C-alpha cells in the first residue's frame, strides 16, 4: 500500500498538459485524478474528494469560470486556476468567484507543485482557537468563519477572503504591505502578483459594506477603527 499526500483533481482538456502535470504530481506522491471537461470535473469534485482542484479556464462545454462557481456553491476545496498568459480579466474574474490562486500558462510543473503545497500547508494548519474580533460593529467569528454585520445579517466570505479579513482585523490600525499580506495569507512570496490582494480586498469591501478597510496608497491596506 502506498501512502499518498492526497488527491489532486486536474480539470483540463489538453492531454499533453494533463500528462505532464500527472507525472510531476505522482512523482511528488500525490494521486492525480484527471477530468477532461467541466461536467466530469464537477462529478470528480463530488465523488473523489480532492484536496485541491487545478482548473483550466478554457474548457469545452462549461467553462472554467462557471465550473469554479459551481464548485464554490457546495465546497470550500482550494481551487487554483490555470489561465492563459493574456487572460488578465479571466484571472480577476476567477478570483472574484472564489478561486484561491491562479497560475499562468505556460507554467512550470514545479511551480504548480509548489503552489499546491502552499495551499495545502495553509489548510493543514491547526485550527486557530475560535474567537471573535469586533471592528466597527462587524463581528468576525473565526470559529464559524463568518461575519455578522451591524444590521444583524450574517455573511460567509470565501476561505481566502476570511483569512485576509482576519489578518487585517488582528492587526487593526497597522498598515500592512501587499507583500506582507501575501506572505501571511497566501503563505509564500507571490512575486509580482499583488493584484491578487487587491481583488480579494475589493470582494471584502463589496460583501462587507461599511467595514473600514482603508487603502494605504502605494503600500497596502489597513483596518481602521470605523
Contact residues toward Ca ion (CB under 5 A) are 13, 56, 58
Cell numbers 499526500: residue: 5
Closest residue to Ca ion, based on beta-carbon distance = 58
What is the smallest separation between the CB atom of 105 and Ca ion, expressed in angstroms?
9
What is the smallest separation between the CB atom of 17 and Ca ion, expressed in angstroms?
8
Residue number with CB closer to Ca ion (82 or 197): 82
Residue number with CB closer to Ca ion (15 or 209): 15
| HEC letters along 70-126 | HHHHHCCCCEEEEECCCCHHHHHHHHHCCCCEEEECCCCHHHHHHHHHHHHHHHHCC
CA-nearest of 19, 42, 14, 13 to 32 is 19
How many whole angstroms separate alpha carbon 32 and alpha carbon 125?
A: 23
Residue number with CB closer to Ca ion (58 or 179): 58
What is the smallest separation between the CB atom of 12 and Ca ion, expressed in angstroms?
6
Residue pair 158/195 in contact by the 8 Å Cβ criterion? no
Residue pair 84/58 in contact by the 8 Å Cβ criterion? yes
What is the smallest separation between the CB atom of 19 and Ca ion, expressed in angstroms?
14
Residue number with CB closer to Ca ion (56 or 90): 56
Residue number with CB closer to Ca ion (54 or 95): 54
Residue number with CB closer to Ca ion (91 or 200): 91
Residue pair 42/53 in contact by the 8 Å Cβ criterion? no
How many whole angstroms separate alpha carbon 223 and alpha carbon 226?
A: 9
Which segments of the chain does DSSP mark as H helices, in order?
A: 15-27, 38-48, 64-74, 88-96, 109-124, 159-170, 178-181, 195-207
What is the smallest separation between the CB atom of 61 and Ca ion, expressed in angstroms?
11
What is the smallest separation between the CB atom of 77 and Ca ion, expressed in angstroms?
20
Amino acid at each position: 500500500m502506498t501512502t499518498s499526500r492526497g488527491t489532486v483533481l486536474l480539470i483540463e482538456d489538453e492531454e499533453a498538459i494533463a500528462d505532464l502535470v500527472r507525472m510531476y504530481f505522482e512523482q511528488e506522491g500525490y494521486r492525480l485524478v484527471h477530468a477532461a471537461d467541466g461536467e466530469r470535473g464537477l462529478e470528480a469534485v463530488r465523488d473523489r474528494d480532492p484536496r485541491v482542484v487545478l482548473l483550466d479556464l478554457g474548457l469545452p462545454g462549461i467553462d472554467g469560470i462557471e465550473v469554479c462557481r459551481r464548485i464554490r456553491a457546495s465546497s470550500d476545496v482550494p481551487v487554483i486556476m490555470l489561465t492563459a498568459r493574456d487572460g488578465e480579466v479571466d484571472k480577476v474574474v476567477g478570483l472574484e468567484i472564489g478561486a484561491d490562486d491562479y497560475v499562468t500558462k505556460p507554467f512550470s510543473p514545479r511551480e504548480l507543485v509548489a503552489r499546491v503545497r502552499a495551499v495545502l500547508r495553509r489548510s493543514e494548519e491547526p485550527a486557530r482557537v475560535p474567537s471573535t474580533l469586533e471592528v466597527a460593529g462587524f463581528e468576525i467569528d473565526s470559529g464559524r468563519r463568518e461575519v455578522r454585520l451591524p444590521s444583524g445579517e450574517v455573511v460567509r466570505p470565501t476561505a481566502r477572503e476570511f483569512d485576509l479579513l482576519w489578518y487585517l482585523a488582528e492587526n487593526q490600525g497597522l498598515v500592512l504591505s501587499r507583500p506582507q499580506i501575501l506572505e501571511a495569507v497566501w503563505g509564500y512570496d507571490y512575486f509580482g502578483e499583488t493584484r491578487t490582494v487587491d481583488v480579494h480586498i475589493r470582494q471584502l469591501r463589496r460583501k462587507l459594506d461599511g467595514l473600514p478597510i482603508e487603502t494605504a496608497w502605494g503600500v497596502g491596506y489597513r483596518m481602521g477603527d470605523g
